[in-house]
Amino acid sequence: MQITQSVPTVGPLTQAEFEQRFVRVGRPVVIRGMLERWPARASWAAERLRTRLGDVVLRGKVSTNHMHPNFLAPSMAQMFRTEERSVAAWLERMLARDSQRARYLISGQEEPLVNVRRGQARQTSAKLAALVDDFALPPLFDESRLYTIWTWFSGAGVRTWLHFDNNGCDNLNAQVHGEKRCWLVPPGQQWRLSPFPLGAAVPAYNCSQVNLESPDLAQFPEFAQCQGWEGRLEAGDLLYIPAFWYHAFEHLGRYNANVNFWWRPTETRPSDVAHRWQLHRQCAQALADESESDAHALDGGRFAAQSAAVRAFLSRLDKLALSRPAE
């Protein structure tokens, strides 16, 4: 992949400035100076977190190496492995002074801090409720459009796989402690990323098949010409990731704590990724049971469970969605 741009860094913004300069055009940015008054800047330090939540049992991710998910693993059980342990035990493993620390990651995927769904009351995790008062919703989008809030805790060396967020939302990722390097790929480059196809054995249509750390250019030759952005997050920064941008992170701090906010955009920006996402939703809805009205919540595992004929049809549809743009 060729890094053609650096993610710009700016100072505090008003909502109007943020929307005009970045949201409307779908452009990533790192924003500094907007988390200074958050209690989390102190209260989410590792030792403080251990004191406050040490006995709380959470499910988290466990990889055989430092990648999450680990698509190099031989089975799906290992790719997406999770375990339960106390926060104190998670922190002990994450802060170890060896390479094993990168095997462990707590994310909101297993325990969302806050969920908001249309027509329903806001749902806050009982296990993590103590953290809600440690931060403020960034004043950069309308609170009525909030979709979910996740927390992330990790040690040094963790790498997240290149993916786009399959909720169709814009994303603000707040770096509360630690540092991260990020790579972002605009939606127009999707055809060079070889995402896992619909109906594949691996239910990860929103993830690239390419190992960003060591790409196999013989298998994925187009990736060599992929054009991406690179940025760096320091404690106190906010990263804006527009909906449908692929992204990956390397966790650099000895201890890293993040909270991110997804909100529904006022309109879906047209792109190859958005088109394919809509295709996924429509196929999921067609395959859903009558009792499952929320196709948005259906995962790719449902496709993998279909007959060979259905999966072949989904694969053909997906190839059309992923075809190289006309010159």
What per-residue string of b and e applies to 17-28 under the rule 16 or more CB within 10 Å gives b?
Answer: ebbeebbeebbb
Residue 327 has what pLDDT? 56
* 3-state secondary structure at position 14: coil
What lies within 8 Å, CB to CB, of 60 at 6+ separation is: 82, 83, 84, 85, 90, 104, 105, 106, 107, 110
For residues 183-207, one letter each, b for 16 or more C-beta atoms within 10 angstroms of the residue's C-beta and e for the rest, the string is: bbbbbebbebbbbbbbbbebbbbbb
Domain 2-263: CATH class, spelled out = mainly beta
Please tell me the distance from the alpha carbon of residue 233 to that of residue 177, in angstroms, as a whole number: 10
Would you state the pLDDT for residue 290? 47
For residues 226 and 46, give the distance between their C-alpha atoms in angstroms, rounded to a whole number: 38
> Rounded distance, CA 5 to CA 217, Å?
22
Contact 276, 179 (CB under 8 A): no
Whole-Å CA distances, 60 to 86, 93, 104, 110, 250: 10, 12, 7, 6, 18
Domain coordinates of the chain in residue numbers? 2-263, 272-321
Distances (CA, A) of 224 to 7, 34, 170, 326: 20, 37, 27, 19
Q: pTM for this one? A: 0.93
Cα torsion angle, 15, 18, 19, 21, sign: positive
**Strands across the sheet with 2-6, in order?**
2-6, 227-233, 180-185, 246-251, 159-160, 67-68
Contact 234, 103 (CB under 8 A): no
Opening angle at CA 123, ends 122 and 124, nearest 5: 120
Amino acid 295: pLDDT: 43
DSSP-derived secondary structure letter, 70:
-
Both tokens of 92, joined, read 């002990």
Q: Residue holding tokens 């988290």?
A: 60
- What string of pLDDT tens digits covers the 327 residues of the chain? 999 999 999 999 999 999 999 999 999 999 999 999 999 999 999 999 999 999 999 999 999 999 999 999 999 999 999 999 999 999 999 999 998 999 999 999 999 999 998 767 899 999 999 999 999 999 999 999 999 999 999 999 999 999 999 999 999 999 999 999 999 999 999 999 999 988 788 989 999 999 999 999 999 999 999 999 999 999 999 999 999 999 999 999 999 999 999 999 999 999 999 999 998 888 877 877 544 444 444 455 566 667 777 777 877 888 877 877 765
What pLDDT shows up at residue 291? Answer: 46
The pLDDT assigned to 201 comes to 84
Given this model, what pLDDT does residue 294 score? Answer: 47
